[in-house]
Chain A
Amino acid sequence: MSVTGGSEWLWLPHVHWAEFIALYLFLGGTAGGAYVTSSWASLMKSLMDTDSWLGKILLARTDDEEHRYSCAETARWGSVLSVLSIAVGGVALLSHLGAPLRALTFPVLFTNFGSWLTIGTWVIVLFTIVAALETLWLHFGSAVATESGLSLFPRKILGRIDSLGPWSTDRGIVWLLDTVADKTRPPSRAHGAIRLVGGALSLLLIAYTAMLLSDISVVPLWNRTYLPFIFLLSGVSTGISAALLGTVASGGALTRTNHRFCLTDDAIIVVELVAIGLLVSFLGNSSDVAANVTETALFDTYGLEFVGGVLILGTGLPVALSITVTMLHQFTDVGETPWGRRLLTGGYALKYTLVLLGGFLLRYVILMAAVKTPLGVPGL
């Protein structure tokens, strides 16, 4: 790139990491968060199934059928969305690269393990394997064949392909996956352990996107202290929102599952906002002029995306909406009437959608408003 001149500081130009990379970072975070959500929902369901003491503490009631069902749905949504997210994110990343095909040879090509880009690539690979397996085990198998729910759309789609394909419908892809799923599904304890590993990979996946950025010491906005924390919170939050948006679509808006997850998400968002506030304050008070310029840019050049998109639409408004809806859900009988149900369902759906939008815009702004520490010009 060529540098831009003009002032007593020698400002360096922006490197082109924009929508595609923002999408990749966002989907990476969402994928990780969705998997964690899925795992947690699976845990809740299994607690209900075993009627354990832990379940009694966490859930108050273990016999709520609707709750169990929506946990199952959430677990499935979380897993399939995590796979879809990471897949689309991967495509977004590859289409940004100058040599995407070459990048696919990463197992031999990416030799620098000191680079977060290399570490992250392997995290993504391992995560995708675990998430895909989870998706397989939750969506396929003889037990699942009898279940219903919108989250099972992969079965439906594959089923349609089976009916169109030249092979026998009974012995098609769905049958194959069901068989494989049953054969490979580990027993409950082991499955739980795998979920733990998957969960750890998820958090690593989310955190890696921030580690990648904050390894760049010349960009004050990409701060090693604040950014990983913010991204982790945001990733989990968007993951919850993605999975539960699915659950809402499946009709589970008025379940305890949704209610609880929604409030959890709100708590996360509040902490996230505080963290963002601390970051902004850090930038404003920094002696690095690039940090000051970034702070100004967040409210000026990128005011629409940051204030309007991230702070209001993406976090503030969703929390306010969520509290309203959850209150109405829990403490009133609005949810008893048909129009009330539609209202609440719509409210939840809107909240989750806004959080997702906010999550993308947060990554976008963090890329676009990034400014490198300038060089001082001699003599001025």
Chain B
Amino acid sequence: MSERVGTLTRRNLLKTAGAAAGAAALGGCLTGDGTDDSPSGELSTAFGNCWMCSHNCGQKASVRDGTVVNLTGVDGHPRGSAGPDTEGTLCPKGLAQLDKTHDPKRIKEPHIRDEDGNLQKVSWDEAFQYTAERLVEFDENNGAETFLDATSWAETSIFRTVWRDLYGSPERISRGIHVCAGPTFVTGGMMGVGSNNRVPDYQNSEYIIAWGRNVLNSFAGQFEAKGVLEAIENNGATLVTIDPQHTITAQKSEEWMPIEPRTDGALALAMANVIIEEERYDEAFVENHTYGFEAYREAAAEMPPERAAAITGLDAEQIRRVARGFAEAAPQAGISVWTGTAQAGNGWKATQNITALNGLVGNVDRPGGLRLWKYPATASFGEVCEQDYTNRAEYKEPALKKYDEYSDYPVRHIEGIAHNLVPEMVENDHINGIVCHHDDPLKDGNAEAWIEAIEAMDLVISIDAYWNGVSRRADVVLPEATQLEKDTLGTGNWSAYPNHKWVTGAKAAVEPQWNTLPDFDILTGIADAMAGETGNDDWTIFQQWDSHEEFIDDQLSTLDLTLEELDSGETNYELVEEYDYEQYSEDFTFRFDLDQVDSFAKAAEEAGMDTAPEWIPPGTYGDSTSEEYPLEFTDVRSVFFSHGSNQPHERLQDQFAKRNRLSGEDYRGNYLYLNPEDAAERGIETGDMVAIESKTGSGELMAVVTQRARPGFVTAEYGFGQTSAITTGEDAREKSADGMNTMMLHDMQMDPITGQVDRHIAVDVAPAGGD
């Protein structure tokens, strides 16, 4: 488990009781179980991978008496540091893992719903047995293919095998493409660079464009923020932020382009216009490795900076300046896009136009540019599984593609499901059950309909650490042990090491708390019960591993590593293979025009868009503001919360409130940010409770009036409100929680190609009645 540390370390000062009276309280007050005896055990060091945002920054834990008493980063870590010989740190969310590990608000026991409709605590054996029975029953009554796998962030990869292969459901909804940044992932993939359009090679870059990203606060691993800061300090890199709102990234940028929301596609074309016109593009790369340049050139020609300026509200000179700066610095120039440009109805074209700029300047897989990051070659499940089994979903088509009811949706050519359509599918009996695993779909869009859908489903299984809108409605609640309580293996592509593949892993730092289990054990427990219930031997495949560690060792076998070696006691990551730049093959093709991609061509035609870059105005798909709803709303993120995971943590709630200068209020929900112009018009001041309303929904939250907000554009953090994990109490449905679920405002708005939820909503805001 954890290693004794004999020599003087950074944390040796955490003495045992008696040595420091002040320290006595520490271990006690951090245990969730109420013991407040002075800790007497030895202090040891253990490691973990942070999973708060699922991007695996290394964690170094100090443990005493089975309690995590301190937490910090891992020096040199690929995700959590700036690279070799640099300090590893943890962002606020990562630090909150300390509180999360011992948080008494967590779900502590398995629960099943009895005949009276109440959740009852049961043992794991009972829970597994009951789950298996219900799954078998579900298959008989509804067909396993109507069971939706909503396993976003299982920390182990076997969920795929369990729900898809063994249980036999082709229905799966994950985060990335469906609710996070569909256009970003899929355009990148189709254009030839995968989703590497998200993370450029920061450290070697001289020009970085954070496009619709607040990368210094909303990062996927701290290496992003650190890399940007290093680039600015060491390379004198120019940082450009394109964002309707002012953020910390904008603050540290040489250029902030305060763009009209959803007009990024025009800006991107205008930049191409300048770059092509002034012949600043990489002719060799365009000639040898791209397809569709002519169509791109045509589209760009129709968008000179002046036209884009009128559309975007930007200054034409600034557009020229940024285009030139980017092209001149190229290939050591990179763009980062993720959700800001993707979570809009016209997000597909915006992202396609933006991603195209990379191909234009030829920064693909070159230092400081769009790096084609690689994963290490850990063994796949198929490679390590020594038992044959049938993939029962192999020939099954997801409902979206199969049934006529969805023939109006272009997304069926591209994806197997769309978030907004799930309620409809439930109504049509095409989806009748769901397993939510470290996921809360109620905050991702179309909230009201989704709530009804969850309530209507025949079987809802929740694997989660906290009570929320899903687990409270579930038929089976399986409490998951959190990150430091289980053996973990993490891999990834992008990191602070642009030339290395890496793995990170750790053994559990402490035992699973209360009666929780690591997800590997939950899934294999279900599998074992299913083996018994169905008599089907396939379900016994996980028995070839006695523990998650054994499985992890198998996964690592291709790298000639074991978990024990990886979690060496000094650190918990390993750089496993070097790879150079410009690794793409001779026939690598970067597509500007996607007419060759059959599925996209069909979808585009149905959606009424071109296959090549083009300008699609906001409102073509999705909302436009009106007299009744004159403000545009979208939700945003903050450094304190990852989706809905961290809202229960008091330290983060308090710091979030302090950041907004409202910690004196008795309110720990999300805030609505409005510009003083919009606020004055409505008689709203900071600290007022306001009501926000769209055509399809409404809610109440506290206002923050700030000049950082764009006039006409209001935002709020999501993951709060009635269905969020911030509510407490397993028995009461939706106890009053501070703040609101922003997606109660939402209906069916989406990107027609990927089904990505379009979170831009036309709203109005007014002071709420009363206090």
Contact = CB atoms under 8 A, between A and B. Distances in A.
Are chains A and B native binding partners rather than an unrelated pairing? yes
Interface of A: 2, 4-6
Nearest to A3: B658
B4 interface: no
Interface in B435-473: none
Nearest to B664: A4
B707 to A, nearest CB: 12
Interface in B631-679: 658, 661, 663
B658 A2 contact: yes
Contacts of B663: 2
Contacts of B658: 2
Contacts of A2: 658, 663
Interface in B409-437: none
A286 to B, nearest CB: 27
A4 B661 CA distance: 7
Interface string B546-571: 00000000000000000000000000
Nearest to B658: A2
Contacts of A4: 661
A380 to B, nearest CB: 11
5 contacts: A2-B658, A2-B663, A4-B661, A5-B661, A6-B661
Interface of B: 658, 661, 663
A305 to B, nearest CB: 22
A4 B659 CA distance: 10
B662 to A, nearest CB: 11
A261 B658 CA distance: 54
Going nearest first, the 5 A-B pairs with the smallest beta carbon separation are: A6-B661, A5-B661, A4-B661, A2-B658, A2-B663
A231 to B, nearest CB: 33
A5 B663 CA distance: 12
B164 to A, nearest CB: 50
A2 B659 CA distance: 12
A2 B663 CA distance: 10
Contacts of A5: 661
A101 to B, nearest CB: 20
A6 B661 CA distance: 8
Interface of chain B: mostly helix, strand, loop or mixed: loop
Contacts, number: 5
A38 B663 CA distance: 52
A12 to B, nearest CB: 14
A6 B658 CA distance: 11
Nearest to A379: B251
Nearest to B659: A5
A2 B658 CA distance: 9
A4 B663 CA distance: 10
B281 to A, nearest CB: 36
A6 B705 CA distance: 12
Contacts of B661: 4-6
Nearest to B654: A2
Nearest to B660: A5
A4 B657 CA distance: 12
Nearest to B251: A379
A6 B663 CA distance: 13
A5 B661 CA distance: 7
A6 B706 CA distance: 10
Nearest to A6: B661
A2 B664 CA distance: 11
B144 to A, nearest CB: 54
A5 B704 CA distance: 14
A2 B657 CA distance: 13
A276 B702 CA distance: 42
A92 B214 CA distance: 52
A7 to B, nearest CB: 11
B650 to A, nearest CB: 15
A2 B661 CA distance: 11
A372 B112 CA distance: 59
A339 to B, nearest CB: 53
A70 B663 CA distance: 58
A5 B658 CA distance: 9
A110 B658 CA distance: 37
Nearest to A2: B658
A6 B687 CA distance: 14
A349 B661 CA distance: 48
A4 B658 CA distance: 8
A13 to B, nearest CB: 10
A3 B341 CA distance: 36
A203 B658 CA distance: 45
Nearest to A4: B661
A352 B661 CA distance: 45
Contacts of A6: 661
B214 to A, nearest CB: 18
B440 to A, nearest CB: 32
A137 to B, nearest CB: 51
A261 to B, nearest CB: 48
B725 to A, nearest CB: 26
A5 B655 CA distance: 13
Nearest to B663: A2
A5 B659 CA distance: 9
B561 to A, nearest CB: 46
B411 to A, nearest CB: 44
Nearest to B686: A6
A341 to B, nearest CB: 55
A27 to B, nearest CB: 31
B657 to A, nearest CB: 11
A251 to B, nearest CB: 53
Nearest to A5: B661
A88 B347 CA distance: 72
B661 to A, nearest CB: 6
A217 B658 CA distance: 28
A58 to B, nearest CB: 58
A77 B24 CA distance: 55
A4 B664 CA distance: 11
A205 to B, nearest CB: 37
B663 to A, nearest CB: 8
A377 to B, nearest CB: 12
A98 to B, nearest CB: 17
A6 B662 CA distance: 11
B11 to A, nearest CB: 26
A336 B547 CA distance: 107
A149 B661 CA distance: 60
